[in-house]
Amino acid sequence: MAEPYYSQLRQILESLHIPKATLECKHFFSGAALYANGNICASLGPAGFAVKLPEEKRLDLIREEKGSEFRYFASGPVKRDYVLLKESVIQDDQAFQEIFSQSVEFVLGPMV
């Protein structure tokens, strides 16, 4: 079941350009996760595509209706460091690249 998500995330990975970060895709629960220099920054699975972001940015995306709270499973707890992105944001190459860059910067800290 995880394979389609892993393949899709690998395709997304090919379109991303993040200097100073090594990006890697791995199987994760029933989906796939994206790592930057060994730090998880995004996941793709049955619940959708979620990125790890600072609280202010997550809340901005939710207020702008570009994202929502994220749960790995419908009955699971809210993953407080993540925001589930709307499909329209994922399809907008420029917006997606910007959000993903912010995610990488967040997980790696000021060294990126």
CA 83 to chain centre: 8
Question: SS3 of 46, please?
Answer: coil
Place of tokens 């407080």: 80
Contact 26, 32 (CB under 8 A): yes
Contact 49, 6 (CB under 8 A): no
Strands 67-69 and 48-52: unpaired
What is the set of domains in the chain, with CATH numbers? 3-111 (3.30.1460.30)
List, run by run, the mean pLDDT of 10-residue segments along the chain (112 residues): 83 81 88 94 94 97 97 88 96 92 91 51
pTM, to two decimals: 0.88
